[in-house]
Amino acid sequence: MNDAIPSLSVLDLVPVRSGQTSAQAVTAALDLVQRADRLGYRRYWFAEHHNMPAVASTAPPVLIAAAAARTSRIRVGSGGVMLPNHSPLIIAEQFAALEAIAPGRIDLGIGRAPGSDPVITQLLNRSGTTSDVSRFPDHVTDIMALTSPDGATVRFTSGSEYQVKATPAASGVPQVWLLGSSDYSAQLAASFGLPYVFANHFAGEGLEHALRLYRDQFRPNESGDGPRTFVTANVVAAPTAEEAEERALPQLRMMARLRTNRPLVPLETVEEAQADPFDAMAQSLMASTRQKWFVGTGSQVSAELAAFAAQHAVDEIMVSPVAGAYAGEAPDSADGRAQTLELLAQTAPVAA
């Protein structure tokens, strides 16, 4: 085992591939979280995305509750809840309830991006339950206060006060993490004394600068904890490097679709991706994206992740297992993603 990786965790977007229903994709994801629990991964987070044919992680609190009910040790949480889409009070209540379901195992990762396209953002705004993105720091503070045993105090101009609690009698609180891929998120996490996650799985630029800002500007809060960081990474591990590259192809093509404004579709199978080559521009984008991913055999990927963790002095690596499926694999399973987690667990320490 390579002690250079402090621990490994999992980020799941609950991918939906061609020929697969949302129910089957969720079944596969819940099987994966149980597997991660048995293998010793530290935490398992669900992302929030909307109106994407290949992504079923639209409601992290619902998936977290299902995952918590099927596991006994692993921390489960959001990676993240996109706060502009929600009322801070509703998020506080949802995660206080989750903390009651799985005490000491809930992470509340909070992001500032919408996790959707402009049309969906407008539809969410019409619901009247969203928050003001310009007040994001205030809303993070509100959530932390509301989920605490003491709750939050609302003060009116008349001088009267009103007590608000996310749950009547909290005995614990979810661990709040700030997520981002910019200087803003790093500096905000530092000012609040909160742990910070850099979204390297989709950004990949500005990582070193953001981590440096966070560590240099960190101010401990009442917990007294020092700076804590980890980064996300797209990962595919397989018995052979050839298989790993093949399984990476569908997700690479999905990223190229996003960046070239091609129509979004369910995630292709490996065979579908191989049968329909993209043009030179998309191929170039895929090659550039591939350079930032960790793809290969279990030992190769583990060694690369160890070097990556050491380079950036992070406390943890959260892998997004992006292995695609071959035609004929059961639609209610994610064989390639499960294989990735199994191989990494064999070659790297996953629990701290």
Please give the pLDDT value at position 184.
92
Is a pLDDT exceeding 60 seen at residue 263? Answer: yes
Q: Which domain holds residue 145?
A: 8-347
More confident site: 127 or 236: 236
Please give the pLDDT value at position 127.
58
DSSP code per residue over 93-140:
HHHHHHHHHSTT-EEEEEESS-SS-HHHHHHHHHTT----GGGHHHHH
| Residue 3 covered by a domain | no
Is a pLDDT exceeding 80 seen at residue 129? Answer: no
C-alpha distances (whole Å) from 247 to each of 2, 96, 158, 187, 289 are: 25, 38, 63, 37, 15
Tell me the per-residue pLDDT of 68-123, one tens digit each, with 9 for 90 and over. Answer: 999 999 999 999 899 988 899 999 999 999 999 999 999 999 998 765 666 766 66
Please give the pLDDT value at position 125.
65
* Bridge partners for 111 per DSSP: 82
| Residue 261 covered by a domain | yes
Return mean pLDDT, the chain: 91
| Residue 84 covered by a domain | yes
Q: What is the mean pLDDT of residues 247-260?
A: 95
Tell me the per-residue pLDDT of 185-207, one tens digit each, with 9 for 90 and over. Answer: 999 999 999 999 999 997 667 89
| Residue 1 covered by a domain | no
Please give the pLDDT value at position 116.
60
DSSP code per residue over 173-189:
-PEEEEEESSHHHHHHH
Is a pLDDT exceeding 50 seen at residue 2? Answer: no
Is a pLDDT exceeding 60 seen at residue 1? Answer: no
Is a pLDDT exceeding 80 seen at residue 262? Answer: yes
Please give the pLDDT value at position 113.
76
Helix (H) or strand (E) holding 237: strand 229-238
More confident site: 80 or 24: 24
pTM tops 0.75, yes or no: yes
Number of domains in the chain: 1
Q: CA torsion sign, 189 to 91 to 56 to 319? A: positive
Which amino acid is it at 185? S
Please give the pLDDT value at position 154.
85
Is a pLDDT exceeding 90 seen at residue 21? Answer: yes
**Structure tokens given for 202:** 């989709």
Please give the pLDDT value at position 208.
94
Q: What is the mean pLDDT of residues 151-174?
A: 90
Select from 253, 250, 235 the least CA-distant residue to 294: 235
| Residue 188 covered by a domain | yes
Is a pLDDT exceeding 80 seen at residue 267? Answer: yes
Q: For 262, left (φ over 0), alpha (ψ -120 to 50), or beta?
A: beta
| Residue 106 covered by a domain | yes
Q: CA torsion sign, 304 to 305 to 309 to 310? A: negative
Return the axis-axis angle of helices 60-69 and 22-39, rounded to nearest 10°.
50
Is a pLDDT exceeding 80 seen at residue 259? Answer: yes
Q: Work out the pLDDT band at 66, boundaries 50, 70, 90.
A: very high
* Portion of the chain with pLDDT greater than 70, in percent: 91
Q: Work out the pLDDT band at 40, boundaries 50, 70, 90.
A: very high
| Residue 2 covered by a domain | no
- Measured CA to CA, the distance from residue 320 to residue 62 in angstroms comes to 20
Q: Which string of b and e fits 105-127 if b means at least 16 CB within 10 Å?
A: bbbbbbbbbbbbeeebbeebeee
- Please report, for the domain that includes residue 65, its CATH number: 3.20.20.30
- Measured CA to CA, the distance from residue 318 to residue 44 in angstroms comes to 8
| 189 in Cβ contact with 137 (< 8 Å) | no
**Structure tokens given for 258:** 């996003």
Q: How many helices (H) and strands (E) does the chain have?
A: 12, 11
Please give the pLDDT value at position 175.
96
Number of other CB atoms surrounding residue 16 within 10 Å: 22
Tell me the per-residue pLDDT of 290-310, one tens digit each, with 9 for 90 and over. Answer: 999 999 999 999 999 999 999
| Residue 139 covered by a domain | yes
| 12 in Cβ contact with 33 (< 8 Å) | yes
| 323 in Cβ contact with 243 (< 8 Å) | no
Is a pLDDT exceeding 80 seen at residue 133? Answer: no
- Measured CA to CA, the distance from residue 282 to residue 263 in angstroms comes to 13
Q: Mapping DSSP to helix (H, G, I), strand (E, B) and coil, where does residue 339 land?
A: helix
| 8 in Cβ contact with 319 (< 8 Å) | yes
Is a pLDDT exceeding 50 seen at residue 319? Answer: yes
Please give the pLDDT value at position 247.
98
